[in-house]
Amino acid sequence: MRIFRIFGLLYVQVLVGIVLGVTLGALDPHLGASLKPIGDGFIRLIKMIVAPVIFCTVAAGMAHMGDLKKFGRLGGKTLLYFEVVSTFALLVGLVVGEVLKPGQGFNIDLASLDPSVATSYLSKAHDTELAGILLGIIPDTFVGAFAEGNLLQVVLLAILFGMACARLGTIGTQVTAGIDMVAQVFFRILSFVVRLAPVGAFAAMAFTVGKYGVGALVHLGALVGTFYLTAILFVTVVLGLIARFSGFSLFKFLRYIREELLIVLGASSSEASLPQLMMKLQSLGVSRGVTGVVVPAGYSFNLDGTNIYMTLATLFLAQATNTHLDIGQLGGLLLIAMITSKGASGVTGAGFITLAATLAVVPQIPITALAVLVGVDRFMSECRALTNFVGNGVAAIVVAGWEGELDRDKLKSELDRGYQGGLLAPAVDLPHNKAAD
């Protein structure tokens, strides 16, 4: 009976799906690659729920918060944290790339590469300029933000909607209560969709291994291994120290969100578990207002894994093409990456697009060298997504602690107990938060 209970756990089912997917992709690459529509279908189902979940969470949180000054302070602290930590992630990738030199001796023959690969990604990278990023926050229409699934646009609309409710007295209170009830419906839909995670993870991993094969990993093993090692060290050391100074254990937090981590691994997209992360953060004692602002904003402004990848991969290509970069050029690369990294999102492949945008403004490195990374980018996408996901979860807890919007007793008891499973549901506001509102 115990074995049936174990396999009844969602994270165990997802893990089994990942193993079976890798096995199928390795044994029958053609069949594995043909399963891509199933994996894509699962991600689409999740993305279908993300925008309304974020809108309901942020709008209700802002309505309960009600204080524009309080929101401004929250936004300022959030952006400060994002900028410091994400810049540090860029530096970590830069330092590791310079010390370990994973591309040294590769001696890429640029004439043998297909230049159309770089061109196809560059065509998608035009919005990673600062002006494009800022304008991209504003939707063309109210419903357009939901139709396109643009998280920052949805957050902006939700903030405006929530603030308006906070200033409408009784009517605003009634509307907010209605939003909470609508949120319950979307969370119930989410609970149905999440049960398909093992199938989605199986199909996505079968496609990845079947399409690109383990041979690509062997061919570029130095880069892949260096990136995974750097990401693991960043999470355990940097984020671990941040968590420790903030009064909680990173490893207990990782255990608490283990289901979501496996879903992200299988889907190769941190967006696949965004709603679940928001709910678990609330169950840990983080207020709805902080959760609703920090987590969605982090998907564009706090992508630690993507930042590490950008500087490390850029240096790899420079070394592999025997392109020397002096201190001034490395500094310029860092400044450029600080801007282009803000154009990424939690969607699979966004890290590669921002890398293309970075190389486009670093003329010393041939843009055609991007073709070398195509075969292994999907494998590194999984690591980027996991690192981004953990980084945004830690950020929400840290910022909530700064703002006094964290129930520390609940955080400790929940992390000590560990998540026990069951359907996710919206957490209610913390008692001390209501008093503060």
Range 241-259 average pLDDT: 94
- For residues 423 and 16, the model is more confident at 16
Q: Does any domain span residue 326?
A: yes
Contacts of 361 (CB under 8 A, 6+ apart): 336, 340
Contacts of 80 (CB under 8 A, 6+ apart): none
CATH of the domain at 329: 1.10.3860.10
Predicted pLDDT of residue 110: 65
Are 216 and 25 spatial neighbours (Cβ–Cβ below 8 Å)? no
How would you class 434 by CB atoms within 10 Å of its CB: exposed for 0-12, middle for 13-18, buried for 19 or more?
Answer: exposed
Predicted pLDDT of residue 411: 94
Q: Does any domain span residue 104?
A: yes
Q: Does any domain span residue 182?
A: no
Report how far residue 111's alpha carbon sits from residue 212's, in angstroms, rounded to the nearest whole number. Answer: 22
Report how far residue 428's alpha carbon sits from residue 437's, in angstroms, rounded to the nearest whole number. Answer: 14
How would you class 26 by CB atoms within 10 Å of its CB: exposed for 0-12, middle for 13-18, buried for 19 or more?
Answer: middle
| Structural domain span for residue 123 | 18-35+82-130+211-419
Residue-wise pLDDT tens digits, 329-383? 788 888 777 776 665 554 445 666 677 777 766 777 777 777 777 767 777 888 9
User: What is the pLDDT confidence band of residue 389, given thresholds at 50, 70 and 90?
Assistant: very high
Q: Does any domain span residue 272?
A: yes
Number of domains comprising the chain: 1
State the amino acid at position 312 in one-letter form: L
Predicted pLDDT of residue 402: 93
**Tokens 């803000």 appear where?**
342
Sign of torsion, CA 40 393 229 325?
positive
Residue-wise pLDDT tens digits, 279-316? 899 999 998 888 888 888 887 788 899 889 888 988 98
Residue 127 pLDDT > 60: no
What percentage of the chain exceeds 70 in pLDDT?
Answer: 81
Q: Does any domain span residue 8?
A: no
Residue-wise pLDDT tens digits, 67-120? 667 777 888 899 899 999 999 999 999 999 899 988 887 777 666 565 555 555
Predicted pLDDT of residue 145: 82
Q: Does any domain span residue 184?
A: no
Q: Which helix (H) or strand (E) holds 297?
A: helix 288-301
Q: Does any domain span residue 252?
A: yes
Q: Does any domain span residue 319?
A: yes
3-state secondary structure of 114: coil
Residue 432 pLDDT > 60: no
